[in-house]
């Protein structure tokens, strides 16, 4: 593999170009990592503003028209809509798993088929999250199944 780095002009946006014969899982993981980069998110916990690294988030969920981010053991309130998060994390390890949740695929320990074509995801923090049947085919594509 060759890596070429070129300076760009002041009025040009930083650009990464990848030329490859086949896109494999390792390359996709690299792309996701670059895309997420050092992005930080603002969340709220106990009246304080907290800056979160998206890599620490296990999943996002909507309850009573509020969006929450779930970490390993912490829960934070977000001031954005779920569809905005879905758009922000398009092409990353975050995956829309139901109308009310988005899961970080890198935090899934195992997947088990569930009732009515759904899947149940066991996360590394021990929580279980349901993946609706309408999102299962997209999940299989993302995982290369």
Pick the CATH number of 25-143 from 2.40.50.1020, 3.40.630.10, 3.40.630.30, 2.40.430.10: 2.40.50.1020
14 against 136, higher pLDDT:
136
Q: How confident is the model at residue 27 (pLDDT cuts 50, 70, 90)?
A: confident
Q: Which residues contact 92 (CB under 8 A, 6 or more apart)?
A: 32, 35, 36, 54
- For residues 114-119, give the mean pLDDT: 86
134 against 17, higher pLDDT:
134
Tell me the domain boundaries of the chain.
25-143
Give the span between the Cα atoms of 68 and 79, in whole angstroms. 9
Q: Which letter does DSSP use for residue 56 in this model?
A: G
144 against 47, higher pLDDT:
47
pLDDT for the residue numbered 4: 78
25 pLDDT above the threshold of 70: no
- For residues 114-126, give the mean pLDDT: 90
Place of tokens 């999102």: 135
Per DSSP, the three-state class of 24 is coil
Q: How confident is the model at residue 33 (pLDDT cuts 50, 70, 90)?
A: low
Average pLDDT score, the chain: 86
Contact 67, 77 (CB under 8 A): yes
Contact 101, 129 (CB under 8 A): yes
67 pLDDT above the threshold of 90: yes
């Amino acid at each position: 593999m060759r890596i070429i780095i070129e300076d760009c002009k002041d009025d040009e946006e930083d650009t990464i170009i990848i030329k490859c014969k086949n896109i494999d899982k390792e390359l996709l993981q690299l792309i996701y990592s670059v895309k997420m980069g050092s992005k930080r998110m603002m969340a709220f916990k106990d009246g304080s503003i907290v800056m979160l690294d998206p890599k620490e988030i296990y999943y996002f969920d909507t309850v009573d028209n509020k969006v929450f981010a779930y970490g390993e053991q912490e829960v934070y309130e977000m001031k954005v809509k779920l569809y905005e998060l879905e758009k922000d994390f398009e092409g990353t390890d975050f995956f829309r798993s139901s109308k009310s949740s988005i899961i970080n695929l890198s935090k899934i320990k195992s997947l088990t088929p569930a009732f009515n074509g759904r899947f149940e995801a066991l996360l590394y923090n021990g929580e279980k999250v349901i993946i609706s049947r309408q999102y299962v085919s997209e999940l299989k594509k993302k995982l290369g199944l």
